[in-house]
Amino acid sequence: MSAQMPWPLSLTGQRCLDVGTMDGFWAFEMERRGAAEVVATDITEASGQDLPVRKRGRRAGIARGETFRIAAEVLGSKAVFRSRNVYDLDPAEDGEFDLVFMGYVLQMLRDPLRGLEAIRGICRGRVIVLDTVSLPLSLLPAPLARLNARRGALEWFVFNARGLEQAMTMAGFEIEARTGILRDHQGPAERLPPLMALSHRVGILGRSVAIRGRAF
């Protein structure tokens, strides 16, 4: 999927941020593409997640910082991990970045526009937002975003592609590029539960886009 991202022509010498890094895949990719400094952030305590009331207190601690450090050591990476909620990003503390990458984070925020505005506050260049999008219904009026009520899901709001662009624009980004629809699940369908596999196969689930915007 990395080759499909709308990367700028060069990251050489740039200061980059990977928001919601998990194990660091995109942080290490930006470093591989020539970034001079890479900072990776994620939530390390379950209490910091935006969880519905019925799910609070049921999730154990998150080992994201530990798995990132293991991967960085194996790869010989100089990327730095910081425990940080996206809402708490602050230019006075975190500095500013030439490129911010945010992969599959927006859908997990109770207030996605606030999250995008926090990104704008520390972005002096570009942002790439990779996120799940809802299935467009060409014959019916489609909402720009919908509240995701799937049982067991951690997502709050899922935008369609046009809605995601609009949210980024409202947060202070000029849209520069957008991928086509990306398929999340590329492996054998039998690795998924039957109903979920069918939903992926027909395109109801497993659809994403990546959008690049410039801060204005």
Are the C-beta atoms of 142 and 161 separated by less than 8 Å? no
Is the residue at 3 inside a domain? Answer: no
- For the ranges 27-31, 51-55, 139-143, the maximum mean pLDDT occurs at 27-31
SS3 80: strand
pTM: 0.87
Mean pLDDT of 7-32: 97
Is the residue at 4 inside a domain? Answer: no
Query: Whole-number mean pLDDT of the chain?
Result: 86
Whole-number Å distance between alpha carbons of 30 and 200: 29
pLDDT band at 150 (very low <50, low <70, confident <90, very high): low
pLDDT band at 186 (very low <50, low <70, confident <90, very high): low
CA angle (193 as vertex; 192, 194 as ends), nearest 5: 110
pLDDT at position 46: 74
pLDDT at position 205: 60
CA angle (209 as vertex; 205, 212 as ends), nearest 5: 160
State the residue range of the domain holding 73: 11-215
Is the residue at 169 inside a domain? Answer: yes
**Residue of 104, 28, 22, 27 whose CA lies nearest to 63:** 22
Whole-number Å distance between alpha carbons of 71 and 204: 33
Whole-number Å distance between alpha carbons of 83 and 174: 29
Q: Mapped to the 3 state alphabet, what secondary structure does 155-214 carry?
A: CCEEECHHHHHHHHHHCCEEEEEECCCEECCCCCHHHCCHHHHHHHHHCCCCEEEEEEEE
pLDDT at position 45: 80
In eight-state DSSP terms, residue 68 is H
Express each pLDDT in 72-109 by its tens digit: 999 999 999 999 999 999 999 999 999 999 999 999 99
pLDDT band at 141 (very low <50, low <70, confident <90, very high): low
Q: Mapped to the 3 state alphabet, what secondary structure does 98-166 carry?
A: EEEEEECCHHHCCCHHHHHHHHHHHEEEEEEEEEEECCCCCCCCCCCEEECCCCCCCCCEEECHHHHHH
Pick 166 or 188 by higher pLDDT: 166
Instruction: Give the CATH number of the domain where residue 90 resides.
Output: 3.40.50.150
Is the residue at 31 inside a domain? Answer: yes
For every residue of 4-43, DSSP letters joined together read GS---S--TT-EEEEET-TTTHHHHHHHHTT-SEEEEEE-
Q: How many domains does the chain have?
A: 1
